[in-house]
Amino acid sequence: MTALRPDAFIREQGDAPAAGAPNLTLWISEAGGLGQFGAFVEVLQPGTRSSLAHWHSAEDEMVYVLEGQVTLVEGTTETVLHPGDAATFKAGVPVGHCLWNRSAAPTRCLVVGTRAPLDRITYPELDRVRVRDRSLPDDTWTTIAGAPASSPFA
Amino acid sequence: MTALRPDAFIREQGDAPAAGAPNLTLWISEAGGLGQFGAFVEVLQPGTRSSLAHWHSAEDEMVYVLEGQVTLVEGTTETVLHPGDAATFKAGVPVGHCLWNRSAAPTRCLVVGTRAPLDRITYPELDRVRVRDRSLPDDTWTTIAGAPASSPFA
C-alpha cells in the first residue's frame, strides 16, 4: 500500500527566513519512501516566503499551486500565481527564485525537486553558495567567488 | 519567466488502453523545459484508466489527486483516493499499479516520475516488459522471462 492520506504526510515546521510566521512543509516523498525526488505540500502563512531567493546548479524544481494567491519572485520579476498555475526552475538557470505569500490568506503549493548527488545552491542576494554533497552529513558554504564563508542561516 | 498558466501546458490526447474515452495529459515538465523528471496533470474521463498496470525498475513515481475520486489499483488492492491524497511508487517495488476512474465525473491528478537513463517497465498481467533506453529512439519488448516479444499496444 502506497496510498497516503494527508495526515500521513510528514510535518516539518520550518524557520521563516526574514519574515512572518513559520512555514509548514508536509513531506510526501519521505512519507512514501521515495529517494529520487523530493515532493511536499508547502503551506505559507501571509507574509512568509518559501526560502531565500536561490537557484540550483543540478536539481530541476517545479511548483504547482493548490490554494491561494502566491507571488513567484524570479530575479526582479514578480508573477502572481493562482490555483492550477505552475512554475518550473530548470537546473543551472542562474536566476534566484522563491515563493512569497503577500496575500491575506494561507497558500498551499505542491513542490517537487530532483535529488542530485552533488548540487550548488546559489543565493544571489547574499553572495553565498551552499555546496551540497549528499554523501556527506553537512552542507558547506562559500561566497559566489568561492571563498569559504559562513552560513546565512547561522 | 518560468510561470506557466494551464493554457501553456502541452496537451497530449492519449489512447485509452482497454476502456472508455481517451485520456488527456497536460505536460508541465515539457512546457517548462525540465528533463530530470516528468510532471503532468492527467485528466481521466469516467471509465478510463491512466495506463495498464505496471511498475518501474528505475523510476520513482508519485500521484497527487487534484479533483474527483480516483481508484488506485495496486496488484489486487484497490483504494479510492480523494483530492489532497497522494500515492507513491518506489522504483523496483514489483507491484503493478494504475489509476482508474470508476466515478461518474472526470478526475484530475498531478503525476510526477523520474527520468532514468535505463528503465524496465513490467506489465505483470500481460507478461510483458518494456525496455527503455533513453539514448535510443524506441523502446523494445520482452516477456517477463526475457524472450523477445510484441508490444501489447501494437
| Mean confidence (pLDDT) of chain A | 93
B62 touching chain A per CB within 8 A? yes
Alpha carbon distance A9, B112 (integer Å): 17
In this prediction the ipTM stands at 0.93
* pLDDT given at position A31: 97
Q: CB A64 to CB B36 under 8 A?
A: no
Asked if residue B37 lies in contact with residue B62, where contact means CB atoms within 8 angstroms, the answer is: no
Residue A75: strand, helix, or coil:
coil
Specify the pTM: 0.94
Model confidence over A46-94: pLDDT tens digits?
A: 999 998 999 999 999 999 999 999 999 999 999 999 999 999 999 999 9
B90 touching chain A per CB within 8 A? yes
Measure in Å the smallest separation between the Cα of A154 and chain B Cα atoms.
31
For residue B64, the cross-strand partners are B86, B110
Name the residue of chain B whose CA is nearest to A6's CA.
B85
> How many A-B residue pairs are in contact by the CB < 8 A criterion?
127
Q: How many CB atoms lie within 10 A of CB A111?
A: 18
B137 touching chain A per CB within 8 A? no
* Domains of chain B with bracketed CATH: 6-121 (2.60.120.10)
**Which of A77-91, A114-128, B19-33 is the least confident region?**
B19-33
Q: CB A88 to CB B29 under 8 A?
A: yes
Burial A30-55 (b: 16+ CB within 10 A, else e): ebbebebbbbbbbbbbeebbbbbbbb
Model confidence over B34-73: pLDDT tens digits?
A: 999 999 999 999 999 998 999 999 999 999 999 999 999 9
